[in-house]
Amino acid sequence: MIVVIQRVSESSVKIDGKVKGKIGKGLLLLLGIEDADQQEDIEWLSKKIVNLRIFPDENEVMNRSILDIGGEILLISQFTLHASTKKGNRPSYIKASKPDFAVPMYEKFIETLQKDLEKPIETGVFGADMKVALVNDGPVTIIIDSKNKV
């Protein structure tokens, strides 16, 4: 699993012109799933995200997690994170999981993340054409690949 984490002061996702998910201060997560991903990737990544200390403390040092600040999460599925650009100019998405595998993994990730965050999260819709808006706070953007956890 690959996740792009963006610290935001606000973020939202629209589908067919209607707001599907909206948050204030917190994290926008863009999640890519591949066939090699397993439950342990979900669990590790979820714990890493909720404990990642990227919010400022009273001294403006990034020393607080989303749990510490009571922030919100907006999760968006994004298969293009697994794009291969080695050959030519047209990305290949062969590494990205097909919906029959990816949808259940995405749903398990939502469930695990909500449990670790100890409250519901906002989401987009898997496979939908989504319009994502955000105000990146910092800016702070971090990329984590669960295959690089060791």
Strand positions, DSSP E, 1-100: 2-15, 18-23, 26-32, 55-56, 62-64, 72-77
Identify whether 112 is a catalytic site residue: no
The number of helix segments (H) and strand segments (E) in the chain equals 3, 8
Active site residue 78: yes
123 labelled catalytic: no
> Of these residues, 78, 112, 123, 126, which one is catalytic?
78
Strand-strand pairing, 18-23 and 2-15:
antiparallel
The one catalytic residue among 55, 79, 109, 126: 79
Torsion angle in degrees (nearest 10) through CA of 81, 121, 128, 136: -50
Pick the catalytic residue from 39, 80, 101, 141: 80
Q: Give the integer Cα–Cα distance in Å for 49 and 137.
A: 16
Assign 49 to helix, strand or coil. Answer: helix
| Token pair 């939202």: residue | 12
- Could you give the residue numbers annotated as active site? 78-80
